[in-house]
Amino acid sequence: MFEGSFVALITPFKDGRVDEAAFQQFVEWQITEGTDGLVPCGTTGESPTLDHDEHKRVVDLCVEVNNGRVPIIAGTGSNSTSEAVDLTRHAKDAGADAALVVTPYYNKPTQEGLYRHYKAIHDEAGLPVIIYNIPGRSVVDMSVETMARLAKLPNIVGVKDATCDLARPIVTRLAIDSEFCQLSGEDGTVVPYLAAGGHGCISVTANIAPKMCADMHRAWRQREVDTVLALQDKLMPVHAALFCETSPGPVKYAASLLGKCTAETRLPICEISATSKERVKDALAEAGLLN
């Protein structure tokens, strides 16, 4: 079971290339700050604009610096099933603990197509799979019925749920079972998601506030509700600011303010506006994340 605060890692760039040193230093910082798990090469890591060699290299770098300390769920999704199988096989060989596989974007597969896509990855790659259900970006929404059907396969072990539907974790738990791992994909709703039966969050905000995010999840597990609510309220303006423009533009700018990497992104994600920069800076300062 994966639980707690998993960080959807940014991929630092410098002069158009992956900044390997900055990435490994960033991963080390995440671990020392208490992050419960690492997710390289997700959407926040700009996986759509990493070529295959870069994608695999980033997973390798993450596994290397982690050295078995916390779980790694490597992003391996694609709208091409064969490509997703290849990336998932690599993640397994590299030493990742699971794969995060997004629903195929643009193709708009049917529910049967979704089932066959994930079954092929399950059958051919041999690594535990977390379904990433994000209708806002992929256009397709996996139904609870399809997810329950997939959950009968031994290596389909959970979901990253970015539907913003807070009834979904309850319905999913009733349709499958409590062992099926449910991770929120929305920082702003993580506390009610946990209350509805979720186990953790794959977080954008954890890139910037790893200790606060991890502390909130630990407080939840210890049923320290006052601490949970205080941290939720402190983090909420940060969550909002990090999505004032298309992610990961704002979070990479925030990381640059902390001196962790450049704010560089790859097109079609571009530099955020001056107004957005001020909003991000103010939110970090208000939360006590900037000196």
Please give the positions annotated as active site. Answer: 132, 160
**Where is 248: in which H helix or E strand?**
none
The answer to whether the beta carbons of residues 249 and 271 sit under 8 Å apart is yes
For residue 199 the two structure tokens come to: 């186990």
- Of 245, 246, 191, the closest CA to residue 220 belongs to 191
Strand order across the beta sheet in which 129-133 lies: 37-39, 4-8, 200-203, 181-184, 156-161, 129-133, 98-102, 73-75
280 three-state secondary structure: helix
Amino acid at 144: V
Distance of alpha carbon 64 from alpha carbon 59, whole angstroms? 9
Q: CA-to-CA distance for 157 and 180, rounded, in angstroms?
A: 6
